């Protein structure tokens, strides 16, 4: 579980860093859109949020409340972003070349997170 949570945290923080450094490239690769003006600022603010989300979801240790909260946050975020990006891919044209791979990645992460969540929920807990 910790490795999966670390992976998701790294991916979100890396996405945020990309949004900070090259927002136009991120918009083009994901959405096939050219951006200008205030959109750069909006994407950079979103990038700060992604970096913060990645840092906040970095697990302390397997048994801490913080790690369980981070796991729930990622388990909430990933299916929502999967559905929204898939919706954009279906209803918006043009789309960027990385949109569907990103949808697939988030779908896989959703499956893995849900599987781990279910395994931990069903496994017996040690008694204190």
Write out the DSSP string of 77-122: HHHHHHHHHHHHHHH-SS--TTHHHHHHHHHHHHHHHHHHHHHHHH
User: Which residue numbers in the chain have pLDDT < 70?
Assistant: 62-63, 122-128
Confidence at residue 123, expressed as pLDDT on a 0 to 100 scale? 59
pLDDT value at residue 63: 66
pLDDT at position 126 = 53
Can you tell me the distance from the alpha carbon of 76 to that of 96, in angstroms, rounded to the nearest whole number? 25
pLDDT of residue 62: 65
Contacts of 17 (CB under 8 A, 6+ apart): 47, 51
pLDDT of residue 67: 81
What are the CA-CA distances from residue 84 to residues 30, 37, 123 (Å)? 12, 25, 32
Q: Give per-residue pLDDT as tens, 24-38.
A: 999 999 999 999 999
Give this prediction's pTM. 0.86
């Amino acid at each position: 579980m910790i490795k999966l949570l670390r992976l998701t945290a790294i991916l979100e923080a890396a996405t945020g860093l990309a949004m900070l450094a090259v927002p136009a490239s991120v918009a083009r690769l994901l959405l096939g859109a050219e951006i200008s003006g205030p959109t750069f600022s909006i994407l950079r603010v979103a990038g700060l949020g992604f970096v913060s989300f990645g840092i906040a979801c970095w697990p302390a240790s397997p048994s801490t409340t913080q790690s369980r909260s981070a796991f729930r946050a990622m388990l909430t975020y990933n299916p929502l972003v999967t559905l929204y990006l898939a919706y954009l891919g279906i209803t918006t044209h043009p789309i960027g070349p990385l949109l569907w791979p990103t949808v697939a990645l988030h779908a896989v992460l959703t499956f893995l997170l849900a599987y781990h969540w279910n395994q931990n929920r069903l496994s017996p807990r040690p008694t204190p």
